[in-house]
Amino acid sequence: MITIKEIARQLDMSTTTVSNVIHGKTKEVSQETIERVRAYLDKVGYVPNLAAQNLAANQSRIIGVVIKTRKDRYMNILSEPFVSRILGVIEQEIREAGYFMMLYISEDMMDILNKVAAWNTDGLLLFWMVDDDALRVYKRYRKPVVCVDTYISREVIHQFEHSFVNIGLEDEKGTYDAVSYLLKLGHQRIAFLSDDRSGVNRERYRGFCRALDEAGKEHGEEDYFELNSGKDGIYESMAQLAKRAAGYDAVLCCSDVYACIFTKALERAGLGVPTDISVMGFDDTIPGAISRPAITTVHQDIEKKGELAIGTLLRMIQGESFENDQIILKTSIIERESTCKR
């Protein structure tokens, strides 16, 4: 490959001038010179050696994005509306900042630890870490780390040496507000539908219980509608839960996707939504908005969450520190067609 030095010799210019044009630093370069250099670059098919540039700058210009998931829960996590939407925002922000995104998805924590230890990335975004998972990654990685929707104890956070920031949501309050909304509509018996009670879903279930407790409504384990694992298991359990739902006024689902699927299961079971039973979702994603009936939901600003996540990480890469280790976004109720007064 032709070098910058050889290009400068051929054009009778300094290597600094040629390098500035190649790297877009053209403030002090005349338009005529810029055009001459670019024309020659096109002629010889010059491609900048990014690896060499990054090595010289001691940076890879790569941001790692790691999603910890459960194989029995997601067949293809990228098909989840929330995931695809927030990753789209993150990729765009990374690209516009002059970086590249490297994505890795695994249910095996040791696999994740081994991968990030070998990566030459400038920073990591970690999704849905639980317990001490994020701390284990940080201790192996030792570079800037930002978490998304991660719930870990204050004791664990302190071990990050002020290098931990989580971009989260009012998950507990959002569900509390949703149950309060359903109670104001006159619903007396409400169920909570989810696929587990860990991390984000644990906080949402806590909000569900708190709202019923404060309203003086009795509730118990029978009011938790748990989905089975895997794609087939989810659809099978939806059908079974739809039959159980006959004794309820409303069901609050942990996501819009589940709310949409459950609505169809209820209709197949002979129950109308919302005439017989109200259904609510969470996240405010496209499936809920275009479903019929459209799903009443708890809104979160997914785009803002993605922008804050990568923006915070890039600032940490530049050496900025953060006193606040939690950036929590607010929620709101979006009322649509799947709920009504009793």
Q: Verify that 258 and 316 share a domain, yes or no.
A: no
User: How confident is residue 233, by pLDDT bands cut at 50, 70 and 90?
Assistant: confident
**CATH assignment at residue 241:** 3.40.50.2300
| pLDDT tens digits, 238-276 | 999 999 999 999 999 999 999 999 999 999 999 999 999
**Is residue 55 pLDDT above 70, yes or no?**
no
Q: Verify that 75 and 145 share a domain, yes or no.
A: yes
Asked whether residue 103 is domain-assigned, the answer is yes
Q: Decide which of 188 and 41 is more confident.
A: 188
Structural domains counted in the chain:
3
Q: Verify that 176 and 290 share a domain, yes or no.
A: yes
Q: Which domain holds residue 36?
A: 4-48
Q: Verify that 261 and 288 share a domain, yes or no.
A: yes
| pLDDT tens digits, 109-164 | 899 999 888 888 999 999 998 888 999 998 888 889 999 999 888 888 888 876 78
| pTM of structure | 0.82
Which tokens in the block code for residue 248?
């309820």
User: How confident is residue 19, by pLDDT bands cut at 50, 70 and 90?
Assistant: confident
Q: What is the separation of C-alpha 191 from the centre of its chain, rounded to a whole number of angstroms?
A: 26
Cβ–Cβ contacts within 10 Å for residue 88, how many?
Answer: 13
Asked whether residue 292 is domain-assigned, the answer is yes
Asked whether residue 57 is domain-assigned, the answer is no
Q: Verify that 295 and 177 share a domain, yes or no.
A: yes
Q: Verify that 285 and 316 share a domain, yes or no.
A: no
Q: Verify that 126 and 210 share a domain, yes or no.
A: no
Q: Verify that 117 and 146 share a domain, yes or no.
A: yes
Q: Verify that 161 and 192 share a domain, yes or no.
A: no
Q: Verify that 88 and 180 share a domain, yes or no.
A: no
Q: What's at 242, amino acid-wise?
A: A
| pLDDT tens digits, 57-113 | 456 799 999 999 876 665 578 889 999 999 999 999 999 999 999 999 998 889 999
| DSSP 8-state symbol, 294 | P
Asked whether residue 243 is domain-assigned, the answer is yes
